[in-house]
Chain A
Amino acid sequence: MFENYLSIMIFVPILTGLALLLLPVSREAARALGLAVSVIVVLLGLKVFVAYDGASGGFEFTEHAVVNESLGIAYSLGVDGISILVLAAAALLFPMVYLLFATRAKGYYANLLIVQGAMIGALAATDMVLFYVFWEVMLLPIFFMIGLYGGPRRFPAAIKITIYTIAGSLLMLASLIYLGIAYHDQSGQWSFAMENLSAMSLAGPTATLAFIGFMIAFAIKIPLFPFHTWLPDAYTEAPTATTFVLSAVMAKIGVYGVIRFVVPVFDESFARYALILACSGVVGMMYCGIAALAQKDMKRMLAFSSASHMGIIALGIFCMNVQALTGTLYQIVAHATSTGVIFLMLGIIEERTDTRTIDDFGGMAAKAPVLAFFFAVAMLASVGLPGTSGFIGEFLIILGAVKFNPLIALFAGTTLIIGVCYMLWLFQRVFFETTNPRLEHFRDLTAVEMLTLLPIVILIIVMGVFPQPFIKKIEPSAQQQLAAISTTTHIAGTAQAGPNLKTGEL
């Protein structure tokens, strides 16, 4: 049988999407085709996820072909513990979108297919130029989906996210070129392969600039405070599927990029600036979490909520210990499931009521108990209740933060409080209290909707109760990634800036 699973997962969706754009196909056919392709990707993704062993921490399912010998650019793919869970999320979550939202234009489905392929490509690439190409390709479908199929203020939102991201991409491109030249200077050869670039020792102000270039590009994508301002507009104006893609997967690719590229390549700069970055994560979490409370639009509130969670997720990288990093890698997916399912339900609610204003709701639990139950489970995962997927990652990150810097941990821990404040208040105004007359004829989830969402709801519980099978796959790679920092970093006092709780020096 074939062995290049990753290539198939990348190019079948992309090529199908392009074909859809060019061929005169009805929207029903486009949707059916999209669904079929996404199911194929799910099956391949499951195969990769299950077969991925992870004990060694190295790459599996590798593919390699030279693209440009003189420049050392290669088409090389692989999956390891850093990428396996994000890859699984990118592969497994898409059928829901096709199943839930039926009445969209052909181009909508085409763009969904292309963005999925590109995201999987970015996650599987082990050559930095290849990564960069997929990284850029990801953006285009998002631009079109928001700009063509979004809400009333879609155009400014589309422009804003696109220009913002492209600005970051250009910085990354410049930094990438610097890396190539630096590698050539040191070894006399050209290569953009991850393992080669991360083996370099970089020093000097240019290296720091390159580090900043990469970091800003990823910080925009995640987004890290204060680079988040494109997010509320984009999330709010985008059609449901796009918001879903952005929040559940694409934001995570930013986090993934930091772990995959920035940490091993710029280990010294990273360790030096970790505290500043950690502050940015924590401030962003608190800032966006508090801002969420004041939102009147449900989607905008959840957009801020999503940004708030990304702050904590990013924090896990900057703590530079295995608990926090594992926590981040776990939380990436946990958050994808909880926030993803919430945005999807929001889409369903909006289709039925034509409104997202919180004040237009009330008492929906009485009208739609199943929807309320699903929403509650996702909400509880989002606020990190033990027994749901949300707890494990958040706990590990805060635990790691205590070692890194107790003060950071204290502020990071306020996510426990900030999260419930806006979430419970939202739930109260939408699902509890007396039933709003507007919702008199609101109907509960249909059988299809219920069956579509049920697997994710179950996954939220399973990932909270049995997290170890997932952690087992990611932990060895996380260990390796950190070993790279500690062996090449000799700036004592930065990598282990935290207090020594064993000896009691606070």
Chain B
Amino acid sequence: MVHNVSYLGFIPLLPLAGALILGLMYLATCQGKQISERLYGILGCIGPVLSFFMALRVFFSLRGLPEQERFLSHVAYTWFSTGELDIPMGFLADPLSAIMLLFVTFVGSLIHIYSIGYMKGDARYGKFFAYLNLFLGSMLILVLGDGPVVMFVGWEGVGLCSYLLIGFWSDDRSNVMAGNKAFIVNRIGDLGFVLGMGFLFWGIGADGFDYLSLKANAQNLTAPVGLVVCLLLFVGATGKSAQIPLYVWLPDAMAGPTPVSALIHAATMVTAGVYMVARFSFLYAHVPAAGEIVAWIGMLTALLAAIFGMYQDDIKKILAYSTVSQLGYMFAGVGVAAYSAGIFHVFTHAFFKALLFLAAGSVIIALHHEQNIWKMGGLRSKLPTTYKTMLIGGLALAGCPPFAGFFSKDEILYSALASGHVLIWMIGVVVAGMTAYYTFRMIFVVFHGTPRDQEAFDHAHESPKVMTVPLVILAIGSVFAGFYNLPAIFGGHQKFSHWLAPSLVEHHPHGGVGLEILAVAASVVAFVIGVSIAYRKFSVPVAEPVYKGFNKFGYHKFYVDELYHTVIVRPYQFIGKAISRAIEPFVIDAPVQASGWLYRMFGLAFKVFQAGYVKVYAIYMVIGLSVLSLLVSQSLN
């Protein structure tokens, strides 16, 4: 049973309207007298906050319904329709999208508020909030869309905003190029998404191309087509959610202002791929082979990114690789068909990763845009609130019980173990240890020890309330969000998984208490080992290390960027040049030019008729045409 509620459309519309208004205001005034930052800030926050309250309303409306009726939908109008294809501009709120809605609007609103402080004094203040609003609106379309095509609108929309915001400080060439890279790499994934939609449509889409119809007809999809669809859609997910082989854009995306990194590249946009796989659980559940690939790609990405994360100098890049790594966990979760576990990690990760980025932003601002951790040190005393909140975020990321990240990560690892993916589980445990290590390497180097740059240290000061209050709120979330899905072993009832049940097609594996204890114990041990190594190495004053051997290889991220540049970018540019300088003039155009030359020779012979005036040619043409038609009519009669 699906209930129609017309206010659903307003949830994305509010931030979009905000983006339009802010954008026009900025465009109208950017070259004259500027509008005050306060006005932009307030206007920028209205849309997200209102959307958050509407998301709450959606959540509670759903809760008030019997479990199998928890579907709210609204079709605004027919978007486009031709032949069997019928795409309404429709929105669907079910338990899955309601959860996504809640944290996207909640974290999104906090980040908007934080940005009021962070972007202070920026010449393009208004533009920033317009883009942020546009981003949030797109994300909400992505989450609320009632079918893959509407989802794709949001999907591409967040890609665009990502491009705009990464290159926000567009005077610097490298920022713009990072934005381009994000857009282009995302587009490679989008190709998979579009083709996947094509196959899905011709398979079972003729009777309705929305999730509920597709779910109802899923059993009609034949196995080969189902596999192709699942894999193609997953290609889309690897682009948006930065998985192997398309993860390369996310670390570069740190070129954008820090709130952007927090909002887009940690808490919301990059989780879209996980959301998509969960959304299509009714397909993936029938194609175990696809799930297997998803899980492996996810876990290998988690491992690779964790390795890179151990060597980064830039505080934001450490966090960026941790995001890639955590996304890998999420895919491992949905890959082993533990969709609710994957989404639960999306949920908790949104809190602690937004927190970590915003706290990092607070450090960066305090040090006047210094991001190299080897120029920091001992900041604990100067930035007490930032330190405490970042520590909480770090504990959550590192998987320290009972912080949020512990429960959600453990749920994924346990699901892998219980479903028989022992190797994936083992890698996952190792990655958990590495996560703890690089997280606390960062915290120790930045906040403990002695200042490495005394002058910067002396000028550092704690951020204003508008920035620290969001930190505190997110810290609270990072502590408690995990309790929402306590498993039985800790005396909980897995409320979160039960809540999601109507949206997902999943079977909870029953591994028994023994396996559960094993999984928890392994995770805790990994955490302890990771933190203690970091403690031994970095809690004391240390200088910036020089990397050798494998460490150097890791420091340079296995030279993957260089590899892509040599194998893909350069040849592509070369082909472009080859076409326009060699193939086009000397192969394709050569016969044309030759015939032109013949024509000229021919023309020389008839030079008598050539007056040299272009208008005369026209007369010739008219004459020629008349003669021709005359000849034709003669011959026909």
B636 contacts which chain A residues (CB < 8 A)? 71, 180-181, 184, 190
Q: Which residue on chain B has the smallest CB distance to residue A414?
A: B191
Residues of A within 8 A of B599 (CB): 163
Name the one of A136, A230, A380, A428 contacting B176, with C-beta atoms under 8 angstroms. Answer: A428
For A420, the chain B residues whose CB sits under 8 A away are 180, 183-184, 187
- Residue of B160, B589, B614 near A380 (CB, 8 A) is B160
CB of B89, distance to nearest CB on chain A (Å): 8
User: A321: CB under 8 A from chain B?
Assistant: yes
Interface residues of A in 437-471 (CB under 8 A from B): 444, 466-468, 471
Pairwise interchain contact B577-A294, C-beta atoms closer than 8 A: yes
**Contact between B82 and A323, CB atoms less than 8 A apart:** yes
B170, B183, B224, B615: the one contacting A506 at CB < 8 Å is B224
Chain B residues near A363: list those with CB within 8 A.
171
Check if B194 is an interface residue, CB within 8 A of chain A: yes
Q: Which residues of B contact A326 (CB under 8 A)?
A: 82-83
Docked Cα-Cα span, A506 to B580, in Å, equals 37
- Cβ of A433 and Cβ of B170 under 8 Å apart? yes
Chain B 524-557: CB-based contact to A (< 8 A → 1; otherwise 0): 0000000000000000000000000000000000
Closest to B579 in A: A291
One digit per residue, 1 when the CB lies within 8 angstroms of any chain B CB and 0 when it does not, for chain A 381-401 equals 000011100011001101101
Q: How far is the CB of A302 from chain B (nearest CB, A)?
A: 14
CB pair B223–A287 under 8 Å, yes or no, is no
Q: B residues 338-360 with Cβ under 8 Å of A?
A: none
Chain B residues within 8 Å of A380, by CB = 160
Rounded to whole Å, the gap between the CB of A381 and the closest CB of chain B is 12
Of residues 578 through 637 on chain B, the ones whose CB sits less than 8 Å from some CB of chain A are 579-581, 584, 588-589, 592, 595-596, 599, 614-615, 617-618, 621, 625, 628, 632-633, 636-637
Whether A365 lies near B203 (C-beta < 8 A) is: no
Known A290-B576, A432-B167; contact A159-B596, beta-carbon cutoff 8 A: yes
Chain B 113-147 residues near chain A, CB threshold 8 A:
none
Residue A410 at the chain B interface, CB threshold 8 Å:
yes
A326-353 residues at the B interface, CB under 8 angstroms: 326-327
* Chain A residues positioned under 8 Å from B85 (CB to CB): 323, 396, 399
Interface flag for A40 (CB, 8 Å): no
Nearest residue, chain A, Cβ from B30: A369
Cα distance A444–B632 in the bound complex, in angstroms:
57
- With a cutoff of 8 Å between Cβ atoms, the chain B residues found around residue A502 in the complex are 202-204, 220, 222
B516 at the interface (CB under 8 A from A): no
- The residue of chain A having its C-beta at the shortest distance from the C-beta of B190 within the complex is A416
| Bound form: Cα–Cα A126–B77 in Å | 35
A395-B194 contact in complex given A386-B152, A433-B171, A468-B81, C-beta closer than 8 Å: yes
Report chain B residues within 8 Å CB of A101: none
Q: What 0/1 readout, one digit per residue, does chain A (287-305) give for beta carbons within 8 Å of chain B? A: 1001111110000000010
Check if A501 sits within 8 Å of B195, measured CB to CB: no
**B246 CB → nearest A CB, Å:** 12
Q: Does A140 contact B (CB under 8 A)?
A: yes
Could you say which residues of chain B place their CB within 8 Å of the CB of A143?
Answer: 614, 617-618
Cβ-defined partner of A424 (8 Å) among B183, B198, B199 = B183
- Nearest residue (CB) in A for B573 is A293
Contact B228 A229 (CB under 8 A): no
Neighbouring B residues of A421 by C-beta, 8 Å: 184, 572
Contact flags B390-423 to A (C-beta < 8 A → 1, else 0): 0000000000000000000000000000000000
Q: How far is the CA of A385 from the CA of B163 in the complex (A)?
A: 13
Residue in contact with A501 in the complex, picked from B31, B194, B202, B628, CB distance below 8 Å: B202
Any A CB within 8 A of the CB of B289:
no
Beta-carbon contact of B596 and A160 below 8 Å: yes
Chain B: minimal CB distance from A127 (Å): 14
Say if the beta carbon of A485 comes within 8 Å of chain B. no
A60 to B: closest C-beta gap in Å: 20
Is B225 part of the contact surface with A, judged by Cβ < 8 Å? yes
Query: Which listed residue, A164, A295, A414, A432, touches B580 by the CB 8 Å rule?
Result: A295
Does A475 reach chain B (CB closer than 8 Å)? yes
Q: Contacts A414-B191, A501-B225; is A402 near B77 (CB within 8 Å)?
A: no
Q: Are B160 and A410 in contact (CB under 8 A)?
A: no
Distance in angstroms from A426 CB to nearest chain B CB is: 11
Q: Are B573 and A294 in contact (CB under 8 A)?
A: yes
With beta carbons under 8 angstroms apart, the residue of B27, B83, B572 that contacts A322 is B83
Say yes or no: is B173 at the interface (Cβ < 8 Å to chain A): yes
Contact partner of B614 among A147, A167, A230, A428, CB < 8 A?
A: A147
Q: Which residues of B contact A433 (CB under 8 A)?
A: 170-173, 176
Asked if A177 is at the interface (CB within 8 A of a chain B CB), the reply is yes
Give, as a whole number of angstroms, the nearest-CB distance from A79 to chain B: 20
Q: Which residues of A contact B572 (CB under 8 A)?
A: 290, 293, 421
Q: Please, how many angstroms separate the alpha-carbon atoms of A323 and B523 in the complex?
A: 52
How far, in whole Å, are A471 and B224 apart by their CA atoms in the complex?
A: 33
* Residue A370 CB within 8 A of the other chain: yes
Question: Across the interface, do A369 and B27 meet the contact criterion of CB distance under 8 Å?
Answer: yes
Q: How far in angstroms is the closest Cβ of chain A from B533?
A: 42
Contact assessment for A290 and B575 in the assembled complex, using a CB-CB cutoff below 8 Å? yes
Name the A residues within 8 Å of B637 (CB-CB). Answer: 70
Q: Is B293 an interface residue (CB 8 A)?
A: no
Q: Does B334 contact A (CB under 8 A)?
A: no
In the complex, A444→B30 CA distance in Å? 12
Q: Is B490 an interface residue (CB 8 A)?
A: no
Residue of A140, A184, A229, A478 near B588 (CB, 8 A) is: A229
Task: Given A159-B596, A386-B153, answer yes or no on A409-B198 (Cβ-Cβ < 8 Å).
Answer: yes
B564 at the interface (CB under 8 A from A): no
- Asked whether any CB of chain B lies closer than 8 Å to the CB of A503, the reply is yes
Nearest residue, chain B, Cβ from A421: B184
B457 within 8 A of A: no
Binary contact readout B216-242 vs A (1 if CB under 8 angstroms, 0 otherwise): 000010111100100000000000000
Instruction: Write 6 A-B pairs (CB below 8 A) sorted by A numbering.
Output: A290-B579, A424-B163, A432-B167, A433-B170, A468-B77, A502-B204
Given contacts A290-B572, A402-B202, A468-B78, 5 further A-B contacts (CB under 8 A): A136-B625, A291-B576, A502-B202, A504-B203, A504-B222
Q: Which 7 pairs of residues, A with B, have the shortest CB-CB distance?
A: A504-B222, A402-B198, A294-B576, A501-B202, A293-B576, A322-B83, A229-B589
Residues of B within 8 A of A (CB): 27, 30-31, 77-83, 85, 149, 152-153, 156-157, 160, 163, 167, 170-173, 176-177, 179-180, 183-184, 187-188, 190-191, 194-195, 197-199, 201-204, 220, 222-225, 228, 572-573, 575-577, 579-581, 584, 588-589, 592, 595-596, 599, 614-615, 617-618, 621, 625, 628, 632-633, 636-637
